[in-house]
Amino acid sequence: MGSCFSCQRGSSGKKDMTGSPSNAGNSKDNILPAVPSVPIQNMPPHDNILRDGDTVKHYRIRQLDEGGFFIARRTTFRTLQELVEYYSKDADGLCVNLRKPCVQVEKPVTGGLSHSTRDQWEIDRSSLKFVRKLGHGQFGEVWEGLWNNTTPVAIKTLKTGTMDPKDFLAEAQIMKKLRHTKLIQLYAVCTMEEPIYIITELMKNGSLLDFLQGKGRGLKLQQLIDMAAQIASGMAYLESQNYIHRDLAARNVLVGESNIVKIADFGLARLIKEDEYEARVGARFPIKWTAPEAANYSKFSIKSDVWSFGILLTELVTYGRIPYPGMTNAEVLHQVEHGYRMPMPPNCPTALYDIMLECWHKDAMKRPTFETLQWKLEDFFTMEGSEYKEASGY
């Protein structure tokens, strides 16, 4: 029952309305959907989706206990039709006012490369063509490639000896069953010989870390918060599946078109051979992203992922600055254990820093759930009195 609208900022800075960012010549006539005046008791809560330039915004329409609807609680409406009519005339905290039906930005992800790979995930590595190197890390490289010379894919190559192929295959069977729009979809694997190849859907803008330090340096605060909400959404799904990421960081989030982000490499960290991890990173874990109970006692949980998410928020608002600047891993481990927390980054909204601090609570059980983090970030700009400065200065 949800309503969708599309909107785009014009180059003049005014909020011009078009059908799609890629179709600047589309008609600018108002085309509001027909929202029937349905009895409120029959209307479920739903999302309202807006496109602002290259960013898709999600605003959750909620229902009052006593009847009626709202996006921001300060303004309520008896029917959905009244809500739509109001926001078509006045943005009142939304990125733009409502004008036209929203064209779908994200393409649906299929379950595999073909019918033959849905159950049989091992493919012949000769069917893969490496096109362009997208990035590299401690344990391998990521390439843009083609499967059977037709299907665009991402190919992650793992350095020889990084993990046991049998362990990886067992984990891959679990990873394949995890399906969410904010998780990178695993298509197939090549494990018959090393190096192991992991074939996934392609995100052409590479890692979020590289994107923030490069093409994404011009992103505004609203776009950064939207990315954070997308990541929280994917992590909320993992949370619901009792699955732990273990290495949540900007380097393990990928960026596609229109600032769409998806979580990658979930579950792989625990498969890394310990001696390999120590030799390449100089510590058992990426200390600056790791919750103290995980770094000190190997107590990984979804709550240690929440801690890492708080660190990721600092990466977003600082455009990829390394956490705890000027501090060594050993210093971070010692100081955090004794109560130190990163200070608020310059130009970071206080409300966002408050969320970071919640993620870094010493008591893991007092950290928020990802479901809570998702709605807080989705509602960040529609809460009462929310006026935030842009993140800048890096």
Residues tagged in the binding site annotation for ATP: 156
Considering the candidates 210, 247, 265, 305, report the single residue annotated as catalytic. Answer: 247
CA–chain centroid gap for 322, Å, is 19
Tokens of 61: 């329409």
- What length does the chain have? 394
Tokens of 231: 């990541």
Tokens of 84: 């739509």
Residues 141, 145, 151: CA angle, nearest 5 degrees: 145
Can you give the C-alpha Rg of the chain in angstroms?
Answer: 22
Q: What is the dihedral of CA 202, 203, 205, 209, to 10 degrees?
A: -120
Residues tagged in the binding site annotation: 156
CA distances to 110, 155, 184 from 207, rounded to whole Å, are 22, 14, 12
Question: Three-class SS of residue 153?
Answer: strand
Active site residue 29: no
Q: Give the CA count within 13 Å in the CB-facing half-sphere of 127.
A: 17
Sign of CA dihedral 244, 270, 180, 80: positive
Number of Cβ within 10 Å of residue 309's Cβ equals: 25
Residues catalogued as catalytic: 247
